[in-house]
Each structure stands twice: as structure tokens, then as C-alpha cells.
Amino acid sequence: MSKTAVDPAEMRFNTKSERKGRRGTESQKEEVLRVGRMTQVVEDQTPATKTSHCQRDNALLWRESHNAAQCIKEVEKWPPESETQHSDSEEENQEEEESTSCPTDAMQVGDPAERNHLAAPDGGWGWVVLVATMLVLSLTLAFPSCIGIFYTDLQTEFNATNTETSWVPAIMTATLHAGGPLCSILVERFGCRATVMVGGLLSGLGMAFSALARTITDIYITSGITGLGFCLSFQPSVTIMGQYFERRRVFANALSSTGTAVGLSSLPLISNALLSQFGWRGSFLILGGVLLNCCVCGAVMRPIASGPNKPRHSQVSDKPNNLSLQQETKGLKDSVKTALCGFIAFLHRHMAFDLLVSNARYCAYAVGVTWMTLGCVVPLVYLVPYATHHNIEIDCAAFLMFILGLVNITVRPTAALVLGMPRFRGSSSFVYVFAGAVLVNGLSNCICGASASFEALLVYVVIFGLSMSVAGSLLYTVLMDTVEMSRFPSALGLLCMLESGTHLIGPPLAGMLVDHTGQYSYVFYACSVCVSTASLFLVGFFYFLDSKRDEKEKKNSTKTLSDLYQKPVVILDPDCQYVSSKRRASGNTVYVTSV
């Protein structure tokens, strides 16, 4: 009878079964029983019928069979397969929950729609969210421009200079953009809907408290509160709209940006009417009530999928605390490392500083847009004071702002329809269209600086509005093309924070220029230089990056084609003989086999 060798590997339990209390499945039981039956045959054999060299093998087989018998006894103690699978599934679910409890970016922790990564519906309730976003943008981004209507009254009331008065819209606009990290945290924790509603409440209360101000410093504080509310309403609105639209994202972004145009055209007229009837204090109180409508807009911004966030529970050990000084020191070091890692993860989720190093396109876009904002907001603040300074009535100056907003209302939907066409989807040239519009916007400021007549200002606001509409409709589209959607909230937050610095210093610098020169025209010339140079920087840098990328792709494609069509190298023996294809191969023919 032939001897049967037993593989010792068959006798081992896998590490997972040992870790789970040596539980096994039915297939493992059958395997151990099979090994036991094979070795039992060896035990039943008579030693007298074997040779000396077989006795040594039988001794080894007997020892292995003894181990197999012990394994059989332990197998009988294992729980049934159903219980094992149930416990295994519970532990696997627990491991999956632990592995997903620490996401790496903000989009995995925020709204349920962001956590589940569901496909954008590109319609349906998204159109309601789009309308709500338009209203939010009309009440937030366009609101600082109507402060110019109250510019002269605030100077008279508090006996302030141009520099001191210009801090009011500067602080409001700066906090609107600087609150990006805080906004990202609130969106991650509470979702876009709740954050927008909180922002509407803060902006309304801040504007209402401005009516009670007794000094210009009080206006600074309330302007900061109002601007923070604008930030909490504006950024989540853009974020959730990007979740609802993917295929029509360019069209949705351009159409939602018309909300800013609606605010630019309507808020100055409303503010002028309120100022003539109720004064600046009553106007601020009424405008505070109008800003509360952001809460209504936020209420309709429901996430794509519903589901509460799973709370994270900490495990508390019941073991006594008998740690030595060395162990406590080690634990303190581990705590410091954990806190440092948590802080780095926080920066990664909310600030996206790593994109400034790892993503050259985002870095260039952030620098260009930040430099551009130094001069693109100042004309909106100083247009009305510039017109009234040259003996143009306040009603006509407000009408200029209305024309500016009306041009935006007309052009932005047109830009949305054109840029949202299928032939433009996925295009990488949006950044050049954006930079071209910014260049025209910057050069148009020279018209305003050269002449202060109503006709010249009317031409200026038309050209300024056209270029502003195209640039505004592509601002967030280019950003979405620059970074992946999962990093968009943190990228937008960092970009807004960088913009806040230039928004904060832009109007005060313009006010200082007016106080020292006594001329508003120098302000518009300075804005022209800032915006135009930012446009040239964007064109040059992105052209360099695109050329480098195209050169790399061309090199890779050429290398791939050369590898595809390259003939294999054949090493021939010197004695090889070739025969004609017409002749039949003879026995002396040497065939090449080494390739």
C-alpha cells in the first residue's frame, strides 16, 4: 500500500480564524476531517509488515495523525456556519465603518449627497436650487455695491474721511470672502442648507444693528457681522448647485451668476428710494429684513440624498490607570502627534494649502484672481461718489448702477446659453475667455478716468457690464475645471480667503488716493493697471502650462506609436541560410528560434 504524505500547511489555521477565536467554516471542517481519515489509515497498518525505512516514515505520519485527531476534536467545538458568517459579517461591517470614519477631504464628511457621491441629476429639484442660488447671490455678492448710495450720508453723519468711510464696504466684502474656512467647517458638520440659513440670519441681524450705530467703529463691527453672514450664505449655495449639475454645470453657473446682476440693478434703486423716504438708518433696518430672505432660499437647498451623519463614539477602557511616568510621557507625545496630524488633516480639508504646491493651474488661477480683485470691486464702490462729485444728480448716478446691472442681466444668460452648448462642454479654453473678459474690464476703467460726463459714464458702464458678465459667468466654472469636485469647497474657501485680503485693502487704498490727490480719476486708472496685469498674467501662465502639457502628451504618444510599430530584434547565427519563398524548405535550412 502506498504511503500518503501529509502537508503540514494543511494543518495550520489561518490567522484570521485564530484571531476570531479559531472559528471555521464547513469547508475548513471537511478539510481537517479528510486529513484525519488519510492519517488514520496509516495508524491501522501493522508495523511487522513494514521495512525499516518505512517505520521511520510511519512514525512521522503517526505524529501528524495524532495532531489531526486533536484538530478533529477542536473542529467539533466550532460554532455552526450560520453563526460564524453572522459574526464575520458583523466584524467586517465594523471594520468598514472604522475605515470610513476618518475621511481625507471635506466632501466625504459633509452633506449626505457628498458622502454618497451620487450622480448629479442635472435637473428636477436642481432648478429650484438654481433659482434659490440666484436670489442668494443677488442679496450677498451685489449688496456691497449699494453702499455707495449711502457713502455721502455716512461721511456727513460721522464726519469721516474717504479713507474711513471706505472701510465699511471693504470690511463687508473682506469678511464675505475670508470666512471660507469657517464656512467649510459648518458645511461639513451641518450641511449646506443649515449653513445658508444661519448666514441669512447673521446678515439680517448685522444690517439691522447697523441702524443703531453711534460711531463709524460701530458700523465697522456690524459690517463684519453682515459680511460673515454673506459668506455663510454664498459659498454653500455655489457648492450645492455644483452637486446638482454636472453635464449642464457651465450653463447653471452662468445662469446663477445673473443673480449678481439682478442685485446690481435693483439694490441701488431700492436703496436710493429707501434713503429718500426713511434716511440711512431706516434704510439699513429695512434692508436687514430683506436679507432674511436668504433663510428662505436656504430652506429649499435640500441635499440629494437624506441621511443623518453617524456619530463617532469614543471607546472608554475599564482597566485601572496604573501608568508610570515614562508611559505617561509617551502617551503625551502620542497625543501631540495625533493633534498635529488632526491639524494637518483640518488644513487639508478646509484650506487646501496643498493645492498651491501640487496643482500649478490652481496656484496660477488663485494668484491671478486675487490680484484682479484688487481693482475690480473698487469701481463699483466709487462710481456713485465719482458721479456726484462731478455734479451729476444722485438719481442719475443710481441709474448708472441700474444700467450696469441690466447689462449683466442681459449678457449673463446669453453667455450661459453659448458656453453651455455641447460643442463647448469639456473645453479647456474657458480660462482664456475669462482672461480676455478681464482684460477688457480693466481697460474700460480708462474711459471713466478720462471723462466724467454722463454720456461717457454710460458708455463705461455698458462696456464694464459686458466684460463683467462674461468673466462672472466663468469664474467658478474655471475653478471647477482646475480642481476635482471633491476638493472644490476647500479650494473655493482658500480662494475666497486670498481674495479677502485684496478686498480689504482695495477701497481704503483708493480712499487714501482720493484724500491725497483730491481726484477720483486716479482711482480708476489704478484699477485699470491692476486688472489688466492680472489678465496678462493668467494668459501667459496658463499658456505656458498648456504648452508644457501638450509637449508631454505629444512625446508620450510618439513613444507609444514607436513601441507599437517597432520590429522585434532578431539575433541571427552567422551560418543561417535563407531560401526563397518559392522554394520548398530543405533539410539544410536553419530556422531562427532566438528572438
pLDDT, tens digit only, all 595 positions of the chain: 444 444 444 444 444 444 444 444 455 555 555 555 554 544 444 444 444 444 545 444 445 555 555 555 554 555 554 444 444 544 444 544 444 443 333 333 334 334 434 555 677 888 888 899 999 998 998 888 788 888 888 988 898 888 888 899 889 988 888 877 788 788 888 888 999 999 999 999 999 999 999 999 999 999 999 999 998 998 888 888 878 887 777 778 777 877 887 888 888 889 989 998 999 999 999 999 999 999 999 999 888 764 444 444 444 444 444 445 555 556 666 666 776 676 666 666 656 677 888 888 889 999 999 999 888 888 888 888 888 888 888 888 888 888 888 888 888 778 777 776 766 655 567 888 899 999 999 999 999 888 888 999 999 999 998 998 888 878 878 888 888 877 877 787 788 788 888 888 888 898 899 888 888 889 999 999 999 999 999 999 998 988 888 888 887 777 665 555 555 544 545 555 544 444 444 444 443 333 3
pTM for the model stands at 0.59
The domain spans of the chain are: 8-84, 112-306+358-542
**CA distance readout (Å), 384 to 272, 392, 481:** 11, 9, 36
pLDDT attached to residue 581: 44
CA 418 to chain centre: 26
Are 17 and 24 in contact by the 8 Å Cβ rule? The answer is yes
Question: What is the grid cell recorded at 351?
Answer: 484650506
* Matching residue, cell 509488515: 49
- Fold category of 112-306+358-542 in CATH: Growth Hormone; Chain: A; (1.20.1250)
- Taking the C-alpha atoms of residue 576 and residue 587, their distance in angstroms, rounded to an integer, is 13
- Taking the C-alpha atoms of residue 377 and residue 388, their distance in angstroms, rounded to an integer, is 19
pLDDT attached to residue 308: 42
pLDDT attached to residue 310: 43
Are 461 and 494 in contact by the 8 Å Cβ rule? The answer is no
Are 481 and 430 in contact by the 8 Å Cβ rule? The answer is yes
pLDDT attached to residue 336: 66
pLDDT attached to residue 2: 45
Are 165 and 154 in contact by the 8 Å Cβ rule? The answer is yes
> Measured between alpha carbons, how far apart are the two ends of the chain, in Å?
50
Residue type, 48: A
- Taking the C-alpha atoms of residue 505 and residue 377, their distance in angstroms, rounded to an integer, is 11
Element (H, E) at 539: helix 521-565
Are 223 and 178 in contact by the 8 Å Cβ rule? The answer is no
pLDDT attached to residue 369: 92
Are 43 and 63 in contact by the 8 Å Cβ rule? The answer is no
pLDDT attached to residue 333: 65
Q: Largest alpha-carbon pair distance within the chain?
A: 128
The SS3 of residue 594 is coil
Are 192 and 237 in contact by the 8 Å Cβ rule? The answer is yes
pLDDT attached to residue 479: 86
